Structure 1
Amino acid sequence: MYEEILSTKSVDDFENYKLFDVDLGDSQEMVLVKEIPFFSMCEHHMLPFFGKVHVAYIPRENKVIGLSKIPRLVEFVSRKLSVQEEITVNVAKKLIEILNPLGVAVVIEARHMCIEMRGVNKIGSVTRTSFYSGEFKENADRKKEFLDGIK
């Protein structure tokens, strides 16, 4: 069971993807994949956490990745002992490495069993982490567009 749940060794091993050249014209619109379900295991407490991941990027030079590869990347990154903050950063940094986009935005909203089942026992608490780069970090309108898109 744990081999399946904790199957990822390193985010560097994520290789099964293809980039596509598409004619985007002068458009610099974002690509948004939202509400990607995920689960992982907390490396501190060995208890699960789970939730939704929202990922966006702004293509550079007409380069896009297959849409199914974004949820696959999320699954790949989260299938190891981890913390939510690390998953957020690793998804974003891998997309930056693969695509060299004009910007990347990642938001994760998750419930942690280490909060709900023990300690403070706050059932239903949601933890939100985020990562913004490029246009999403430097341009408030772009960031707002992303945040409005994941509501």
Structure 2
Amino acid sequence: MYRRVTIVKIADERKREVGAVAEAEVSATAFQELIREQLRQIGEDPERQGLLRTPERVEKSLKWLTRGHAMSVHDVIGDAIFNEDHHNMVLVKDIEMYSLCEHHMLPFFGKVHVAYIPDGKIVGLSKLPRIVEVFARRLQVQERLTEQIAQAIQEVLQPQGVGVVIEAAHLCMMMRGVEKQNSKTITSAVKGVFREDLRTREEFLRLCMINGIMG
């Protein structure tokens, strides 16, 4: 009896897996057909040799570039939070960041500085870039991205304060529209003592400028 129940459960799980794969394949096919139609709308022939696999490549590329929608901060941090009696600033600088502007779906990219002052808990240093990745790999605006990173760290660690600065170049301003090739956008989000204490905020910004993208 036990063996029969086990076999039935395995069969049911297998059916669900097959169903999920089939659904994903249908979704991918529909996505690729939309890309083919876009190619037709701009006057291209999706059947010519150079474009035959373009819909498939674009579908995979966009899913990769927006995979942050399916990620969570708690999943990427896992159990990498540690009790530590450290009450001075922790800063990880020059984190490479790539995202897609939600208005034109063109890339914007640059560097992120993330700092926090612990209040009894620290996080593994590699987890700060991973938090950046969770929110950057989505359709975004830089202002919201900056705030989301700061808010996530504040919620997960409950530190004395958090500071985040992003400097980025936006292709929607460089390749089209105003076409300003050398323009940069800088945004910041500060919480806790970074907002309340001017000296703490100044220290953070000064450290960001030392041999960094803002220097």
Give the TM-score band, short-chain normalised: over 0.9
Structure with higher Rg: it is 2
Q: For 1:91 and 1:41, locate their aligned partners in 2 and report how far apart those are by CA, in whole Å.
A: 16
Whether 1:45 and 2:107 are equivalent positions in the alignment is no
Q: For 1:10 and 1:53, locate their aligned partners in 2 and report how far apart those are by CA, in whole Å.
A: 22
Kindly state the Cα deviation for residue 23 of structure 1 after the two structures are TM-superposed: 3.2
* Helix, strand or coil at the partner of 2:179: coil
Higher RCO (CA 8 Å, separation ≥ 6 residues): 1
Whether 1:123 and 2:185 are equivalent positions in the alignment is no
Give the unaligned 5+ runs of structure 1. none
- The alignment's TM-score, normalised by the length of structure 1, stands at 0.93
Alignment of 1:23-34 (within 5 A): 23-24=85-86, 28-34=87-93
Bigger mean CA offset, 38-47 vs 2-11:
2-11
* Residue in structure 2 matched with residue 84 of structure 1 by the alignment: 142
Kindly state the Cα deviation for residue 10 of structure 1 after the two structures are TM-superposed: 5.9
* Residue in structure 1 matched with residue 73 of structure 2 by the alignment: 14
Q: For 1:116 and 1:58, locate their aligned partners in 2 and report how far apart those are by CA, in whole Å.
A: 36
* Residue in structure 2 matched with residue 3 of structure 1 by the alignment: 63
Q: For 2:134 and 2:204, locate their aligned partners in 1 and report how far apart those are by CA, in whole Å.
A: 23
* Helix, strand or coil at the partner of 1:129: strand
Q: For 1:10 and 1:105, locate their aligned partners in 2 and report how far apart those are by CA, in whole Å.
A: 25
Q: For 2:131 and 2:93, locate their aligned partners in 1 and report how far apart those are by CA, in whole Å.
A: 13
Contact 2:69 2:134 in 1 (8 A): no
Sequence identity (%): 48
Relative distance call for 1:10 and 1:89 in structure 2 (3 A) is farther
**Which protein has the bigger strand share?**
1
Q: For 1:97 and 1:110, locate their aligned partners in 2 and report how far apart those are by CA, in whole Å.
A: 25
Whether 1:132 and 2:190 are equivalent positions in the alignment is yes
**RMSD of the alignment, in Å?**
1.1
- The alignment's TM-score, normalised by the length of structure 2, stands at 0.66
Equivalent residue for 1:108, pick from 166, 176, 192: 166
Kindly state the Cα deviation for residue 9 of structure 1 after the two structures are TM-superposed: 1.3
* Residue in structure 1 matched with residue 205 of structure 2 by the alignment: 147
Q: For 2:193 and 2:70, locate their aligned partners in 1 and report how far apart those are by CA, in whole Å.
A: 28
